[in-house]
Chains A and B, each alone.
Chain A
């Protein structure tokens, strides 16, 4: 279920891990070093931190009921939420679940899908009276897929 998010979390922005914290929250302080370390290990994921005391309107719009709360956001929509202290492993998993929407291992599948689609278009070209648009389109898709696979292997 999508939740109204702060205006700066635009719909097509980078995947974001938003943490609502409070200065007097012991669990927030306890997971602080792990959160920062994991954020450095996942530079493709944006970490946004909201101080519940300083930004009560934002916290209300997010319907956050306690701290610490961690919310995963992709394309401006909430994809997961967790309230309570998290271990380093759980924080890493949260980051990785967002990172999984960007490149590997999806890119390998992308490459093979493009190669297969390109080959299908080329083969179809033989059966449709040697259609040059199908050949050229198929060859372009084949090159696209091959370059994707080569990028993944290097």
Chain B
């Protein structure tokens, strides 16, 4: 089971940033090799934002939704 390690603002930024990159690629605004790289990056942003879990964050033990509990 994976756990949420992204805050709400982080997820919204990733989802709509990712959508923007993908749409710009299909609209031929982003072209060539750079366009493909940005479109793939957009796809990764979209999926990680929708899932709420970022493998890079987990690797470096980063969490943007860190909350202080009983302390």
On A, residues with C-beta under 8 Å from B are 2, 11-12, 14-15, 70, 72, 74-77, 79-82, 86, 90, 93-94, 97-98, 100-102, 106, 109-110, 113-114, 117, 120-121, 124, 127-128, 131, 133-134, 137, 141, 144
Per the CB 8 Å criterion, the residue count for chain B at the interface is 30
**Residue pair B11, A113 in contact (C-beta under 8 Å):** yes
- Provided the pairs A11-B61, A113-B12, A121-B19 are in contact, do residues A90 and B70 lie with their beta carbons within 8 angstroms? yes
Count of CB-CB pairs between chains A and B under 8 Å: 88
| Residue B69 is within 8 A (CB to CB) of chain A in the complex | yes
Closest beta carbon of chain B to A103's beta carbon, Å: 9
CB-CB under 8 A from B2, the residues of chain A are: 12
**Residue pair A106, B4 in contact (C-beta under 8 Å):** yes
**Residue pair A70, B70 in contact (C-beta under 8 Å):** yes
Closest beta carbon of chain B to A6's beta carbon, Å: 15
On B, residues with C-beta under 8 Å from A are 1-5, 8, 11-12, 15-16, 19, 22-23, 26-27, 46, 49-50, 52, 58-59, 61, 63, 65-71
**Residue pair A76, B61 in contact (C-beta under 8 Å):** yes
For the complex, give the distance between the alpha carbons of A2 and B66 in Å: 12
Complex partner residue of B63 from A75, A133, A137, CB under 8 angstroms:
A75
**Residue pair B3, A75 in contact (C-beta under 8 Å):** yes
Complex partner residue of B65 from A70, A93, A101, CB under 8 angstroms:
A101
CB nearest to A125 among chain B residues = B26
- Provided the pairs A117-B46, A141-B50 are in contact, do residues A2 and B71 lie with their beta carbons within 8 angstroms? no
Extra inter-chain contacts (4) besides given A74-B63, A100-B67, A124-B26, CB under 8 Å: A70-B70, A75-B5, A82-B71, A86-B70
